[in-house]
Amino acid sequence: MNRNLVLGSVPLGSEAFAIAEDFINIDKSILYIACDDREIFYVKSKLKWLLPKTEILIYRSWDQIPYDNVSPSKEIQSERIKTLYNLSNNNKKLIITSVNAIIQKTINKEFLNTNFIEIFINQKIDFNSLIFKLLSLGYERTSVVRDKTEFAIRGSIIDIFIVDHEHPIRIDFFDNKIESIYSFNHITQKRINKLNNKKIIIYTSSELLLNEGS
């Protein structure tokens, strides 16, 4: 049966149980539309207990009014970008959003498919070109990486905190070749894990990029 299923009027307090049951029994992605951010986190906390091995994506609305001079928080920007990139693939997923979030205009699939950087061990990539690409994706250069969408340069090393990563990564170059990639703790700055056996996608930092293309 290849059709969408819409479920509504779920008794208050039973939302997470209904979502979890459908997610287990139906081979389709599930989108739950909450009233507001408070309900998003309430339902997510219940689902983390019911589906401990399932990644739960959240998509919140911007936390500022239109034409406000204050930028959206990096946390919300990162959440939204991560969810949008996950939506661009066909894997089964569980997403919680709100009414305000789904009525706000956002980027299209073409934008997602053209604004990213792929890196991997032994890749030949010009050091300065990578820096330029990071800036064009909206990443901010800082002296030390502390927050998402920041990057720092120390000699032949580039530290980057990618929007969908729990920890920042450290890329070590030898000339114009990536020699090693590690995750590290952004507080202690100490290495955590070696990431040499996987490709890493550096996503755009925001839904609005101020570059030549825009």
For residue 65, what are its two tokens?
């009014």
Mean pLDDT throughout 187-205? 86
Q: How high is the mean pLDDT of the chain?
A: 86
**pLDDT value at residue 1:** 44
pLDDT surpasses 70 at 209 = no
Mean pLDDT throughout 155-165? 90
Contact status, residue 31 vs residue 95, Cβ threshold 8 Å: yes
pLDDT surpasses 60 at 166 = yes
For 115-203, which CATH superfamily applies? Penicillin-binding protein 1b domain (3.30.2060.10)
**pLDDT value at residue 212:** 56
List the helix and strand counts (H, then E) for the chain. Answer: 6, 11
**Edge-to-edge strands, sheet with 169-174:** 140-141, 150-154, 157-160, 169-174, 177-184, 191-194
In tens, the pLDDT along 33-64 reads 999 999 999 999 999 999 999 989 999 998 76
Between these two residues, 113 and 155, which has the higher pLDDT value? 155
**pLDDT value at residue 156:** 92
**pLDDT value at residue 65:** 66
190 by Cβ neighbours in 10 Å (0-12 / 13-18 / 19+) ranks as exposed
**pLDDT value at residue 158:** 95
Q: Where are the domains of the chain?
A: 15-106, 115-203
In angstroms, the first-to-last Cα distance of the chain is 41
Contact status, residue 138 vs residue 179, Cβ threshold 8 Å: no
Contact status, residue 192 vs residue 109, Cβ threshold 8 Å: no
Q: What pTM did the predictor assign?
A: 0.76
Mean pLDDT throughout 149-178? 91
Query: What Rg, from alpha-carbon coordinates, does the chain have?
Result: 19
**Percent share of the chain, pLDDT over 70:** 90
Residue 13 binned pLDDT confidence (cut-offs 50, 70, 90): confident
**pLDDT value at residue 70:** 67
In tens, the pLDDT along 62-101 reads 876 666 666 677 788 888 888 888 887 778 999 999 999 9
The CATH topology of domain 15-106 is Rossmann fold (3.40.50)
